[in-house]
Amino acid sequence: MDDVTETDLQAYVDGQLPEARRADVEAYLAARPEETSRLAAYRTQRDALRELHADVLAEPPPARLVHAAEGIRGAMRARLARWGLAAGWIVLGLAVGATAGWQLHAWNSPVARAAPGIARQAAVAHATYTPEVRHPVEVGADQEAHLVAWLSKRLGGSVRAPRLAGFPLVGGRLLPGESGPVAQFMYQNESGRRLTLYVRNEPGSGAETAFRYAREGKIGVFYWIDRSFGYALSGELEREELYAVASQVYRQLNP
Amino acid sequence: MHAAEFVALIPRLRRYARALVGDRASADDLVQDTLERAWARFHLWQRGTDLRAWLFTVMHNVNANRARALRVHSEFDEDAPEAQFRPAENGLLELRDLERALADLPVEQREVLLLVALEDMSYTEAAATLGIPIGTVMSRLSRGRERLRVLMHGPQAAVRLKRVK
């Protein structure tokens, strides 16, 4: 009984005591009312700590935290970091004696244009091909194996067409992109609504980013980078619905 | 996708941060910095491990860096005698008193106490989250609880703690 330690007593308070120790601890406490009241005080403390800011749990979180959780500010920061990098190059440019005005112009423009990137291009491709009635895709879903093999070969990596609940695959096509070929898969539900998944190479990224959301007119786009590919899912859906579909895509590509 | 899990964890992170740093605005700033840092270092998270525990680790690091930046590094010596308590006016367990007493704990003890008592972490999880040995978790927890009790009930309540081991 004397081998009951403070660790045992703390574990008793927290419900983390191994069952085999329980009898020893209870016997120890039975003979020591002071210790019993000390542990009772710790239990009261534990309950009070949970009560203390319980209201915070029920509050809807502030928008800035939701944005941070969704990685939106992170995206903006990454963009700022790229600007910072560009600024560094400008300083370097000045140091080697180029004219400041020209450098500023030359370095800023591509950075500024690159920002919306994949989301914008995916939305444009979506708007271009989804209204097509006769030729929405180059290769139909009836030749899916051929389609996937062809797009994988052209993109230089294993491309897959995920299955989307309620939106069967229509087919896909190859598109020209800024830095090489791009795959577009098209899906359509019973009421004729179409979604497109835009897949392109993201050379050298290797990283995974958060889901990000952009809107181009009526078209919503969720886009992200996973390993060496950039993905953008576009559709005229509510943000939440589109998010649910994007999550399906992500899960299937990361089994 | 993990964005949804991050969003779902916001209330827990906010409550913990509130208890850790005290005021609402600093707590939300801490949560925001934590989420941003978590995304920036997301590649360091190991798939299949507990995302919640990882976020608490990130928060611990962000808060520690902040304290360092503000030059309010706690010089608390774990083995120093516990003296100069400010007894509560009465022995009642008032939440306001608890909040004040909690703020008087060294941050190291506060973190352990909150992870265990508020977040229900096992001692092993708390040790992993804070990157400290489990023995240190136990001694901080034990000292933190006793110190809080004395702050709430006055020094006459103090007892000599058993050794952790």
Q: pLDDT of A172-185, one tens digit each? A: 988 887 778 899 99
- Structural domains in chain B (count): 2
The pair of three-digit structure tokens given for residue B139, joined into one six-digit string: 């001694």
In a domain, B32, yes or no: yes
How far, in Å, CA of A162 to CA of A139, rounded? 16
Q: Are residues B108 and B56 in the same domain?
A: no
B14–A61 C-beta distance less than 8 A: yes
In this structure, of A171-185, B20-34, B116-130, the range with the lowest mean pLDDT score is A171-185
Is a pLDDT exceeding 60 seen at residue B53?
yes
Distance CA A181, CA A201 (A): 8
E strand or H helix at B66: helix B51-69
Closest CA to B101 of B60, B58, B150, B61: B150
Q: Is the separation of the CB atoms in B153 and B94 below 8 Å? A: no
Mean pLDDT over residues A148-156, rounded?
88
Domain CATH code at residue B112: 1.10.10.10
The predicted pLDDT at position B90 comes to: 46
In a domain, B57, yes or no: yes
Nearest chain A CA: its distance from B77 CA (Å): 20
Is residue B11 assigned to a domain?
yes
Are A13 and A22 in contact, with CB atoms under 8 Å apart?
no
Q: What is the DSSP secondary structure assignment for residue B155, as one 8-state letter?
A: G
Q: Give percent of chain A above pLDDT 70.
A: 79
Domain match, B104 and B55 both: no
> What's the one-letter identity of residue A208?
E
Q: How confident is the model at residue B28 (pLDDT cuts 50, 70, 90)?
A: very high
- Taking each helix axis from N to C end, the angle separating A72-95 and A63-70, rounded to the nearest 10 degrees, works out to 70
Q: Strand order of the sheet with strand A229-235? A: A139-140, A169-177, A180-188, A194-201, A229-235, A219-226, A212-216
Say whether both B101 and B61 belong to one domain: no
Based on the domain organization, do B152 and B103 belong to the same domain?
yes
Residue at token pair 């950075």: A111
pLDDT, tens digit (0-9, with 9 covering 90-100), for A16-51: 999 999 999 999 999 999 999 999 999 999 999 998
Sign of dihedral through CA atoms B130, B5, A120, A179? positive
> Tokens for B98?
């608890």
Q: Write the DSSP string, A159-181.
A: -----BTTB-EEEEEEEEETTEE
Higher pLDDT, A76 or A130: A130
Which of A7, A58, A62 is nearest residue B165 as measured by Cβ atoms? A7
- Specify the pLDDT at position A72: 62
- CB–CB of A5 and B164 under 8 A? yes
Q: Are residues B53 and B100 in the same domain?
A: no
DSSP designation for A236: S
pLDDT, average across residues B12-24: 93
Residue B110 lies in a domain: yes
Residue A177's nearest CA partner among A198, A158, A147 is A198
Count of CB atoms situated within 10 Å of the CB of B30: 21
Per residue in A203-255, pLDDT (tens digit) is 766 566 778 888 888 889 998 888 788 899 999 988 888 988 998 898 888 77
Do the interacting molecules here have an ipTM over 0.85?
no
SS3 state of residue A202: coil
Residue A111 vs residues A1, A103, A201, A237: alpha-carbon distances, Å: 71, 13, 19, 30
Does B115 have pLDDT greater than 80?
Answer: yes
> Is B76 part of any domain?
no
Token code pair at residue B133? 């040995």
Domain shared by B101 and B137, yes or no: yes
Point out the residue among A10, A52, A66 whose CB comes nearest to the CB of B95: A52
Host domain of residue B56? 2-69
Task: Pick the residue from chain B with its C-alpha nearest to A34.
Answer: B159
Q: Does residue B80 lie within any of the structural domains?
A: no
Distance, in Å, from the CA atom of A93 to the CA atom of A87, rounded to the nearest integer, reads 10
- Per-residue pLDDT at A95 exceeds 60: no
What is the token pair recorded at B76?
């608390």
- Predicted confidence band of residue B145 (pLDDT cuts 50, 70, 90): very high
Residue A227 Cα, gap to closest chain B Cα (Å): 11
- CATH number of the domain to which B56 belongs: 1.10.1740.10
Mean pLDDT over A125-145 rounds to 84
Same domain, B54 and B113: no
**How many beta-carbon contacts under 8 Å exist across A and B?**
137
Q: Is pLDDT above 60 for B87?
A: no
Contact A155, A176 (CB under 8 A): no
Residue B33 has pLDDT above 80, yes or no: yes
Gap between the Cα atoms of B94 and A117, Å rounded: 55
Which of B1, B14, B113 would you mutate first to test chain A, the one with the most A CBs within 10 A? B1
Do B61 and B8 fall within a single domain? yes
Residue B116 placed within a domain: yes
Given a cut of 60, whether residue A76 has pLDDT beyond it is no
Q: What's the residue count for chain B?
A: 165
Q: Is residue B44 part of a domain?
A: yes
The pLDDT, as a whole number, for residue B142 is: 96
Smallest CA–CA distance from A208 into chain B, residue? B43
pLDDT, averaged across chain A: 80
